[in-house]
Amino acid sequence: MTLSYLKAGRLKQWLGQPDSPAFLRECKALFDKVFGERSDNLPAASAFGPVPDHLKPVIRGTQIALRATHIVNGVIYSRSSTHIGNSLIVFYPGGNRSSCAVPGSIQHIMFYSNNVVVFVVQRQVSAPPSQLDPYADYPHFPAQIYSNSLSPKLEIVRPDWVVSHYARWAIVTYRNTGATSARSTSLPHAPARTIPPSLALASAEDCASH
C-alpha cells in the first residue's frame, strides 16, 4: 500500500511538470478529468434528507447530505465503505493542535444545509500497555503500534483538523504455549498465532509525545 501511494505521488508530480511534453499534458488532462477535483464537489439540494438515527447522537441539525467522497485542496477523502485507504486520517481531536494527533477512519462524509462538511470518524484503538512497540526507539520513523479494531464511538472531525492520511498493515505476533494433550501433535512451546495488531503511520512530530 505504501509503495503504491509513493508511485502515485511520483506519477502526479511527473505529470504536473510545466515543461512536460505535449502528450504527457494530454495524459494529465485525462487524469484530471477522471480523478481530479470536480465542480460538483458540493451536493445538490435534492441530496439532503433527515439525519439517520445512528448519527443523531453526534449530528446537530435536521437536514444533511451524505457523500461517498470529498476533495479538499486536491486530496481525496472517502468513507471507509467506499475506499478504506482514503478513509484513514490523522487528526487533532476537537481541532486542538496542542494535543497529539490521533489516527481514525472516516465512516461518513456529511454536509449540513449551509454546505459545511464534516467527517464522522471512529478512532483506531490504542494498543494495550503490555503490547511491545518495536518502533518506539525510532522517533524519526513515523510508525506506531495500534490495535486492529476501531472505537465504537463516533466523533466529528472538520477537514481543517486533518493532518494527513496514514497507512496501516497487519503484523503477526506469536506466543508460546505449553499446553499439550495425548491427542495433540503440537510440540510444547510451539508458536501459536494471536490476533495481529495494526501498524498505523503518522508523522514523527505528532507521535513524539506518545
Judged by average pLDDT, the poorest of 16-20, 44-48, 149-153 is 16-20
The band of 36, judged by pLDDT with boundaries at 50, 70 and 90, is low
Percentage of residues in the chain with pLDDT exceeding 90? 37
pLDDT for res 177: 34
The distance from CA 32 to its chain's CA centroid, rounded to whole angstroms, is: 23
pLDDT for res 33: 57
pLDDT of 25 > 70? The answer is: no
pLDDT for res 19: 73
pLDDT for res 190: 39
pLDDT for res 154: 96
Answer for the pair 123, 151: CB distance below 8 angstroms, yes or no. yes
Which residue ranges form the domains of the chain, and what is each CATH number? 1-36 (no CATH), 42-176+189-207 (2.30.30)
Percentage of residues in the chain with pLDDT exceeding 70? 65
Instruction: Over range 33-42, report the average pLDDT.
Output: 56
pTM: 0.68
Q: For residue 130, give the C-alpha cell.
A: 503490555
The band of 32, judged by pLDDT with boundaries at 50, 70 and 90, is low
DSSP of the chain, one letter per residue? -HHHHHHHHHHHHHHT-TT--HHHHHHHHHHHHHHS--TT-SPPGGG-EEPPGGGTTT--SSEEEEESEEEETTEEEE-TTT-HHHHEEEE-GGG-TTSPPEEEEEEEEEEETT--EEEEEEEEEEPPTTS--TTTT-TTS-EEEEEEEE-S--EEE-GGGEEEE--EEE---EEEE----TT--PPTTEEEE-PPPEEEE--HHHHTT-
pLDDT, tens only, 63-121 = 999 999 999 988 999 999 999 999 999 999 999 999 989 999 999 999 998 889 999 99
Judged by average pLDDT, the poorest of 21-25, 64-68, 175-179 is 175-179
Count of residues making up the chain: 210
